[in-house]
């Protein structure tokens, strides 16, 4: 199955992460020379949610959110994604007709991998109506990227290792590609690995925990610890750190993925209570939590990477120097780290670029799941297609 219309020059990727703070939009050009993919960013945009919008998203994470409320939020997120597309194209000076397809991950509301739903199977729900996006942009949309992998017994996550291998694999250097978003995830790219041998998994909490604790500690005055300033002024409470590192997720072997179900608001509330029982100041709380995130990342990497190795980092966590110092301190045999920016991939927009690539590959009929990462039984196409243009066809018949 292959999209017929390949003359359009651009692809757009849209991402709203587990932190729920806003939309990342990336306008990219994608090409293939033999087996080599080229993905170049033309324009990127971050559009933060308005206060009321963000409040509705966070309300959707609670069990008291009704089906009617979820339906309305699904629709409205579609409008917000479409709004981001229009702003992106306006800033880039590009017409919608020049865009082949939009790849939209949507906003994850619940992620329940196999073994966590009580019946052995898994499911994952992302909202942001692709029909609304298509209708209000006039551009075809590929969405719901996790479902096919999960139907084959996979975790449905992480998805980005396919992108990481395409852009960052080296035949001369062992590399770890780390993304610190709301959840932290890694792709292990030992130099001898082929595309069906790579490793990747969620290491556990990332910015979501640090942001949640900052909001609790400051009673909502701050939404995140800018530049790690609070953590920098505090001290690690060693006993509490060791207690937190005994969370069972850290001892699980890949394939594994996680989300708010493990490290969301309830988890943050428990950490906050623990800190108060130990008499920690806000600064000591943030310093100990930052150590937790950094140590859990470093420990997760060590069993799987060949020495020596290089670290390539993306995501909002790269802007927290205290967190990056912790990762570096506990990452043995690592010979330095650098941002994905050095490879032409801005760290804040890597995942949005990834979903642009996934949509483009869907249009070429190329599977983009990595069974050795997710645990799926086989390769599969990822995504569902929502047409916007009259007369758009896929090989095999009209839609």
What does the pLDDT read at residue 397? Answer: 34
What does the pLDDT read at residue 1? Answer: 41
What does the pLDDT read at residue 54? Answer: 94
Whether 107 shows a pLDDT value over 80: the answer reads yes
Q: What percentage of the chain exceeds 70 in pLDDT?
A: 94
Whether 228 shows a pLDDT value over 50: the answer reads yes
pLDDT band (50, 70, 90) for residue 249: very high
What does the pLDDT read at residue 203? Answer: 98
Q: Provide the residue ranges of all domains of the chain, joining segments of one domain with +.
A: 10-158+349-398, 167-347
Whether 375 shows a pLDDT value over 50: the answer reads yes
Distance between CA 178 and CA 110 in Å, rounded? Answer: 23
Whether 185 shows a pLDDT value over 80: the answer reads yes
What does the pLDDT read at residue 395? Answer: 41
Tell me the pLDDT of the chain averaged across its residues: 92
**Is 10-158+349-398's fold the same as 167-347's?**
yes
Choice among 3-12, 289-298, 320-329 with the minimum mean pLDDT: 3-12
CB 87, CB 139: distance < 8 Å: no
Whether 115 shows a pLDDT value over 90: the answer reads no
Distance between CA 181 and CA 42 in Å, rounded? Answer: 22
Whether 4 shows a pLDDT value over 50: the answer reads no
Whether 121 shows a pLDDT value over 90: the answer reads no
Whether 110 shows a pLDDT value over 70: the answer reads yes
Whether 396 shows a pLDDT value over 50: the answer reads no
Topology, domain 10-158+349-398: Nucleotidyltransferase; domain 5 (3.30.420)
What does the pLDDT read at residue 116? Answer: 67
Q: What CATH class has 167-347?
A: alpha beta
CB 142, CB 363: distance < 8 Å: yes
Structure tokens at 7: 């003359």
Tell me the CA distances in angstroms from 191 to 217, 258, 306, 308, 334, one per residue in order: 43, 27, 9, 11, 15
Whether 389 shows a pLDDT value over 70: the answer reads yes
Q: What percentage of the chain exceeds 90 in pLDDT?
A: 86
pTM as predicted? 0.91
What does the pLDDT read at residue 117? Answer: 54
Q: What is the mean pLDDT of residues 327-344?
A: 93
Q: What is the mean pLDDT of residues 365-377?
A: 95
Q: Count Cβ neighbours within 10 Å for each residue of 312-337 and write b for 16 or more, e otherwise.
A: bbbbbbbbbebbbbbbeebbeebeeb
Residues 133-181 have pLDDT tens digits of 999 999 999 999 999 999 999 999 999 999 999 999 999 999 999 999 9
Distance between CA 124 and CA 212 in Å, rounded? Answer: 22
Work out whether strand 309-314 and strand 174-180 pair parallel, antiparallel, or are unpaired. Answer: parallel
What does the pLDDT read at residue 269? Answer: 97
Length of the chain: 399
pLDDT band (50, 70, 90) for residue 34: confident
């Amino acid at each position: 199955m292959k999209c017929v219309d390949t003359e359009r020059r651009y692809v757009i990727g849209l991402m709203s992460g587990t932190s729920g703070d806003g939309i990342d939009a990336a306008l990219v050009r994608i090409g293939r020379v033999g087996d080599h993919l080229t993905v170049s960013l033309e324009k990127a945009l971050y559009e933060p949610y308005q206060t009321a919008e963000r409040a509705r998203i966070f309300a959707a994470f609670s069990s008291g959110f009704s089906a009617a409320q979820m339906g309305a939020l699904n629709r409205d997120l579609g409008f917000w994604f479409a709004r981001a597309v229009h702003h992106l194209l306006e800033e880039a000076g590009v017409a919608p007709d020049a865009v082949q397809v939009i790849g939209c991950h949507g906003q994850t509301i619940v992620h329940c991998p196999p073994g966590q739903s009580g019946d052995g199977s898994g499911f994952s729900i992302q909202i942001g109506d692709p029909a609304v996006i298509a209708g209000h942009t006039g551009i075809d949309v590929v969405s719901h990227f996790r479902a096919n992998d999960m139907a084959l017994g996979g975790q449905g996550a992480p998805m980005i290792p396919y992108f990481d291998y395409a852009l960052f694999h080296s035949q001369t250097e062992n590399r770890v590609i780390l993304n610190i978003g709301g959840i932290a995830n890694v792709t292990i790219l030992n130099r001898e690995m082929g595309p069906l041998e790579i490793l990747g998994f969620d290491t556990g909490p990332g910015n979501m925990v640090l942001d949640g604790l900052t909001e609790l500690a400051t009673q909502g005055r701050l939404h995140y610890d800018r530049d790690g300033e609070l953590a920098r002024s505090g001290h690690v409470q060693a006993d509490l750190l060791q207690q937190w590192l005994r969370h069972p997720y850290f001892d699980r072997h890949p394939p594994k993925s996680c989300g708010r179900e493990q490290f969301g608001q309830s988890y943050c509330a428990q950490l906050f209570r623990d800190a108060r029982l130990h008499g920690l100041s806000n600064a000591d709380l943030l310093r100990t939590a930052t150590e937790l995130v950094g140590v859990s990342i470093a420990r997760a990497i060590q069993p799987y990477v060949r020495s020596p190795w290089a670290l390539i980092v993306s995501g909002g966590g790269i802007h927290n120097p205290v967190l990056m110092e912790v990762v570096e301190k506990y990452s043995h045999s690592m010979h330095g780290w650098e941002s994905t920016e050095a490879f032409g991939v801005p760290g804040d927009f890597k995942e949005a670029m990834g979903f642009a690539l996934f949509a483009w590959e869907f249009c070429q009929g190329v599977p983009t799941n990595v069974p050795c990462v997710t645990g799926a039984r086989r390769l599969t196409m990822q995504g569902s297609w929502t047409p916007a243009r009259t007369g758009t066809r896929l090989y095999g018949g009209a839609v």
